[in-house]
Amino acid sequence: MDSYNFALIKPVSGSCCLHCRYCFYRDETVNRKVSSYGTMSEETLKRAVMYTAGNAVHGSTFLFQGGEPLLAGISFYQHYNELCQDIAALRPDFTISSCVQTSAYLLKKDMVRVLKEGHFLVGVSLDGPEKLHDLNRTTVNGRGSFKQVFSNTELLRAQAIPVNILCVVTKDNARAQELWRFFMDNGFDYLQFIKGLAPIGSDQELISSEHFADFFLEIFDLWFSEFTKGHYVSVRMIDDLFAALSGRGISSCDLRGQCSVQNVIEADGSIYPCDFYVLDEWKLGSVCDSPVTVSSSIARSFTKKLSLPRACLDCNALAVCKNGCRRYRGSNNLSAYCQTFRRLLSSKKEQITYVLKHCL
Ligand code: SF4
Ligand code: SF4
């Protein structure tokens, strides 16, 4: 039994109202026998929540993700809130954290009310200002989604619901100054920049590792400038960098040096180890009939520590990067963020020392 645990729930499998050009989950769904497991039933949701909470002593975090998880509808999330209330009544000291990662395209006031009632943290996928966001995040008809996404995000902020921005970076929108200005001007203080992921089995990068490193080093300078003005902006990779350098816990699993089972629960209740591996060969069990044992051969094979490439062994960034996520490794077996971390640690030494001294 874990002290705290985590489950990533896919309420509508890979179904989505948008057709973002780089969607990694759509790519996964076409690489398995059943591409869509439909919509999760209330009974399966109950089993998923009870299975997860039943395996933790102090608390569970539930993240709803898709496709577009809000397609599951209001009654699905009302039911989830009721399940959380039932657990709270039985286990008053047990903490449940609820998060949803959404395009916000379909968000309406009544859904916002339900998310508020459930104390949700909402991650909104937003790739910057309209002309950059709309390059990749399009509707099924190829139209831009920005206007609707942005105004719906305001519905969340009007209710003081915490909003984190997830910005996928490709060579199209890797304009650090423009993105940063947009997010700062609009008061977004919780940001995550992730490198667009090439489809399974393809080496066609959406942005090269060098280009992403150039982009992120500029972001770092912009972040540092805010920091010196006393304004702390949370940028996930920068938070993780300082967490690693100061010996605190790192939130991202890709910087732990070893995969762990993340309990991804598909709409039919089947369980997989990680969002990047919701593929037939990695199915671990099901919340409906055969829950996971971490000692199963598939789980053991997934969490097995992989040996490091030679280049990592005498690398200045090893303590932070640890060769990154296995899904983000290139043909040289190095992390796609290799150059980002190496260059941050070699060329931003002064700023890093300053931050470590003044704040952490
Ligand atoms: S494959 Fe990547 S994201 Fe998945 S558990 Fe491993 S490090 Fe984490
Ligand atoms: S920065 Fe590159 S060489 Fe260093 S640990 Fe990461 S992947 Fe390995």
Determine the pLDDT at residue 294. 67
Neighbours of 228 (CB within 10 A): 11
The secondary element (H helix, E strand) that includes residue 60 is strand 56-64
Q: To 10 degrees, what angle do helices 209-228 and 338-347 make?
A: 40
Confidence (pTM): 0.94
| Structural domains of the chain, with CATH | 2-173+257-305 (3.20.20.70)
Does 329 contact ligand 1 (Cβ within 6 A)? Answer: no
- Which one-letter amino acid corresponds to residue 360? L
Tens place of pLDDT per residue across the chain (360 aa): 889 999 999 999 999 999 998 888 988 999 999 999 999 999 999 999 999 999 999 999 999 998 999 999 999 999 999 999 999 999 999 999 999 999 999 999 999 999 999 999 999 999 999 999 999 999 999 999 999 999 999 999 999 999 999 999 999 999 999 999 999 999 999 999 999 998 888 878 899 999 999 999 999 999 999 999 999 999 999 999 999 999 887 878 889 889 999 999 999 999 999 999 999 999 999 999 877 766 789 999 999 998 999 999 999 999 999 999 999 998 889 999 999 999 999 999 999 999 999 875
Q: What is the amino acid identity at position 310?
A: R
253 lines ligand 1 (CB under 6 A): yes
The candidate with the shortest Cα–Cα distance to 35, out of 285, 346, 280, 225, is: 280
Going from the C-alpha of 276 to that of each of 36, 254, 259, 288, the distances in angstroms are: 16, 12, 11, 22
256 DSSP assignment: S
- Which one is catalytic: 189, 203, 275, 314? 275
Instruction: For residue 346, give the ligand nearest its CA.
Output: 2
- The label of the residue with tokens 């008053």 reads 92
Which residues fall within 8 angstroms of residue 32, CB to CB, at 6 or more apart? 278, 279, 280
Strand partners, 265: 9, 271
Q: How far is the CA of 307 from the centre of ligand 2 (A)?
A: 13
For ligand 2, what atom is nearest to the CA of residue 342? 1
Q: Is residue 275 annotated as part of the catalytic site, yes or no?
A: yes
Ligand nearest the Cα of residue 259 is 1
DSSP labels, 106-120: T--HHHHHHHHHTTE
Structure tokens at 297: 């051969």
Residue nearest to atom 8 of ligand 2 (CA): 312
| Closest-lying ligand 1 atom to the alpha carbon of residue 276 | 4
Enumerate residues 6+ apart whose C-beta is below 8 A from 135: 127, 170, 172, 173
Residue 200: per-residue pLDDT: 86
